[in-house]
Each structure stands twice: as structure tokens, then as C-alpha cells.
Amino acid sequence: MAQNVPGRHRAPGRFNAISELKTIARESAQPAVKGAAIVAASGGLVASFAGTANAADGVNSAAAGPAVVGPQVGTLKASNALSAIGYGKPTLKTQPIVIEDVKVERERADAAAEKAAAERRAADAERASRSTARVALDNAKIPSASGIVGIAQSFFGVPYVYGGSSPSGFDCSGFTSYVYRQAGISIPRTASAQQAAATRVSDPQPGDLVFFGSPAYHVGIYVSPGRMIDAQRPGTVIGNHSIWTAPSGYGRF
């Protein structure tokens, strides 16, 4: 004959959700009960037990009915009650998010811009230095002879003017006669006359005259092998030019 087990009654008094849960957890570990479940729902707490009848344990197939605990009788929310007895503790680990300060970012951007500007200034200074050195080297290649070459260089850029013999414009012989006059040397005005009056030389030095044709139709001031300063033709200016063809001779005063 089946033995009825009297139902468990809660002792009279004020209901305590935490005490009730602890009691349920303790009794769920006894051999008389084979399974247990605790379900937490938003706004309330439901605890129930379900077991299988076992003749050896003397338990009826009808298990103890569920005990329902709602928010209307409890004083804590379900999540707080579960945490109080060790259930449902959070295990998710979060990684902190680091947001760089806007000021630091701006300072880095300013530093990068200043570095780029400094590099540009350094590059510009280097280019200017190279340009100056190149000009100095070019000038060093042009030796002076009694100041003739130096005086001739001072008129670079003056335009060719047929019949001109002043800094407003020169033709070839007007230029050479003017330069020599500035050096204190008086020479004839025309190319052919200068050729006739000069002492012929085979080893020209800077400042000597370079003649083309005989009688000469063009004259320039010798600077270095293959180079001379002259007033070439209309549309050009005074400058350091190449000796474009074989001279007819060189003259010195």
C-alpha cells in the first residue's frame, strides 16, 4: 500500500524570500528529491521541484507542488535574491575602451605639421646654398685681367643695339671700346680698327680681344677657352657666350 507523505507547511510568520531560497537549495540536495530547477523571471521568482517516484525512498509519484513566490510578497527583486545565495553571478568580462584626448591628438597634428614645415625650410635652404655655390664656382672659372672681365660682366643683360656704345645698348665694338675705356685703356671704335691696333697673340688671356674675320666684322672679350663676353646681334643681350666658330685671331692692348 502506498504511503502518503504529509505535505510541508510553512511556519506562520513574515515571508522572507532569501530564507525560502536557501531552504529550497538545501532540500534539493537530499536523496529524496532527484531533480531541481530554479527559474528567475523578470519581476518575480518561481522555485519548483520535480522528482521521480522511487519505492526504495518511499516517495509517492506525486511530487511536492510548486511553491510560487511573486513580487507581491517579496521585498527583493529576483536578480538580487539569486545573487544573495550565490546563483547567477555575472561572468562576462568587459574590455575598457580608451579614447584619446582631443588635445593630445591636436598637439600631435601640430607637431607633425611643424616637422614637415621645418623639413621644407631645410630643403629650400639647401637648394639656395647649392645655387649660391654654383654661381660662385662659375664666377671662379672666369679670371679677371686688369679688371676687363669684371667690368664686362657688369653689363650682362644690356641689349644689342646697332651702333650703340653706352649702357643703354651696345653693338660688338661699341661694347669692347666702352669696357676698355672704363679700365682706363683707350682703343679704336670699330672691330677692324681694334684688330689693326692690337698686338696679336696666340695664347689669349682673359681680357684679350677675340676677332672674327679679316678685316674683323665681329669682336668680343676673351674669358676662357671656348668662352667670351660680347654683344652678338639684334635680339640678344650682353652675356657669357660660346665662341661659335674659329676666331681669326686674338689681340692684346
What pLDDT, in 10s, does the model give residues 95-140? 555 556 677 788 888 889 989 999 988 888 888 777 666 655 554 4
- Most confident range, picked from 22-36, 40-54, 111-125: 111-125
pLDDT value, residue 46: 40
Asked if 155 and 245 sit in the same domain, the reply is yes
The rounded mean pLDDT for the chain is 74
User: Of 106, 105, 143, nearest to 224 (Cα)?
Assistant: 143
CA distances from 227 to 87, 123, 148, 149, 162 (A): 102, 33, 15, 12, 22
The domain total for the chain is: 2
Range of the domain at 52: 17-84
pLDDT at 62 over 50: no
Percent of the chain with pLDDT over 70: 54
Mean pLDDT of 170-190: 97
pLDDT above 90 (res 236): yes
Please indicate, yes or no, if residue 238 is contained in any of the structural domains. yes
In this prediction the pTM is: 0.45
CATH code, domain carrying 178: 3.90.1720.10
> Is 212 among the domain residues?
yes
Q: Which of 64, 84, 104 is the last residue of a domain?
A: 84
Has residue 205 got a pLDDT over 70? Answer: yes
End-of-domain residue from the set 60, 84, 108: 84
Nearest residue to 176 (alpha-carbon basis) of 207, 139, 143: 207
Residues 157 and 78 in one domain: no
Q: Which position has the grid cell 661659335?
A: 244
Cα 171 to Cα 105: distance, rounded to the nearest angstrom? 67
Is the per-residue pLDDT at 233 higher than 60? yes
> Residue 104 has what pLDDT?
79
C-alpha to C-alpha distance for 246 and 242, rounded to whole angstroms = 11
The answer to whether 176 touches 219, Cβ cutoff 8 Å, is yes
Which is more confident, 26 or 6?
A: 26
What is the predicted pLDDT for the residue at 127? Answer: 81
Q: What is the pLDDT of residues 188-198, one digit of tens each?
A: 999 999 999 99
Domain stops at, among 84, 105, 122: 84
Closest CA to 215 of 190, 234, 232: 190
What's the half-sphere exposure (Cβ side, CA atoms, 13 Å) at 124? 6
Note the pLDDT tens digit of each residue in 65-100.
Answer: 444 444 444 444 555 555 555 555 555 555 555 556
For 222-243, what is the mean pLDDT? 96
Same domain, residue pair 170 and 246:
yes
In a domain, 115, yes or no: no
Higher local confidence (pLDDT), 17 or 139 = 17
DSSP string for 181-216: HHTT----SSHHHHHHHSEEESS--TT-EEEETTTT
Residue 80, number of CB atoms within 10 A of its CB: 14
Q: What is the mean pLDDT of residues 144-163?
A: 89
